[in-house]
């Protein structure tokens, strides 16, 4: 995977949302003093949890905080994605078939930090075009037993009943057509034990 875009929201000198496109040919960041070059690199260090670099309450944009905002965000968007991912008993699936790509077809991780704390993110999300209706909106968070109960009427369409990704696909196929919209899928609650390996 390749980092293609960084998004900073309410982070230090970047009020609201600033997008920084990382071109394939980029070799450096150039600009005048105090224009945010170091801020971009430090945001990446915080995002990737580099040793010794942590978010700080002073990272919150003071104007945003005065307007009542309580969080800042660091997002990274990736392209050059793997053709398959391995989850659920190491079975191949794709980010696209699991509805984990954003509206532009990229894999995007969003980390939200509380303005008042220091350290790790408050919440981590995947921004993705995801089904809205139940039970499709929660398939990635279901255990195999829950998937079997949800898909009991379509059991004959599941080739190997031990594999969660095959149950999810059969349930989605049986629910066609269904609507998707871009959401923030909460990594800790929206993904089950097996599917957390995606993150």
> pLDDT tens digits, residue range 45-97?
999 989 888 898 899 999 999 999 999 999 999 999 999 888 766 778 899 98
- CB atoms under 10 Å from CB of 142, counted, come to 20
CA 38, CA 8: separation in Å to the nearest integer? 13
Consecutive H or E run containing 181: strand 180-186
- Segment 32-53 shows an average pLDDT of 87
Residue 165 reports pLDDT greater than 80? yes
- Segment 29-42 shows an average pLDDT of 83
Task: Indicate whether this model's pTM tops 0.85.
Answer: yes
Q: 176-181: long-range contacts at Cβ-Cβ below 8 A with a sequence spacing of 24 or more?
A: 178/131, 178/132, 178/133, 178/136, 179/131, 179/132, 179/133, 180/99, 180/129, 180/130, 180/131, 180/132, 181/129, 181/130, 181/132
- Segment 15-25 shows an average pLDDT of 88
Per DSSP bridges, beta strands 14-21 and 85-87 are unpaired
Range of the domain at 144: 2-198
- CB atoms under 10 Å from CB of 42, counted, come to 19
pLDDT at 121: 86
CA 103, CA 84: separation in Å to the nearest integer? 19
Give the pLDDT band of residue 146 (cuts 50, 70, 90).
very high
For the chain, the helix, strand and coil percentages under 3-state DSSP, each to the nearest 5? 30, 30, 40
Give the pLDDT band of residue 149 (cuts 50, 70, 90).
very high
pLDDT at 159: 87
CA 93, CA 116: separation in Å to the nearest integer? 39
Compute the mean pLDDT over every residue in the chain, rounded to the nearest whole number. 89
The total domain count for the chain is 1
- Segment 127-137 shows an average pLDDT of 93
- Segment 132-150 shows an average pLDDT of 91
pLDDT at 170: 94
Helix (H, G, I), strand (E, B) or coil at 59: helix
Lowest mean per-residue pLDDT among 7-11, 25-29, 66-70, 142-146: 25-29
């Amino acid at each position: 995977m390749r980092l293609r875009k960084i998004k900073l929201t309410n982070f230090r000198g970047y009020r609201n949302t600033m997008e920084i496109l990382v071109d394939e040919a980029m070799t450096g960041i150039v600009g005048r003093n105090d224009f945010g070059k170091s801020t971009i690199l430090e945001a990446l260090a915080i995002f990737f949890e580099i040793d010794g670099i942590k978010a700080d309450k002073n990272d919150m944009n003071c104007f945003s905080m005065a307007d009542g905002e309580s969080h800042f965000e660091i997002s990274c968007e990736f392209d050059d994605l793997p053709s398959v991912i391995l989850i659920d008993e190491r079975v191949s699936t794709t980010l696209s078939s699991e509805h984990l790509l954003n509206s532009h077809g990229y894999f995007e991780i969003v980390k939200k930090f509380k303005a008042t704390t220091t350290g790790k993110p408050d919440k981590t999300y995947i921004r993705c075009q995801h089904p809205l209706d139940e039970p499709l909106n929660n398939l990635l968070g279901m255990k195999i037993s829950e998937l079997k109960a949800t898909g009991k009427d379509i059991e004959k369409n599941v080739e190997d009943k031990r594999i969660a990704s095959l149950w999810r696909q059969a349930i989605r196929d049986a629910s066609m057509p269904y609507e998707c919209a871009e959401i923030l899928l909460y990594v800790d609650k929206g993904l089950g034990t097996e599917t957390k390996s995606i993150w």
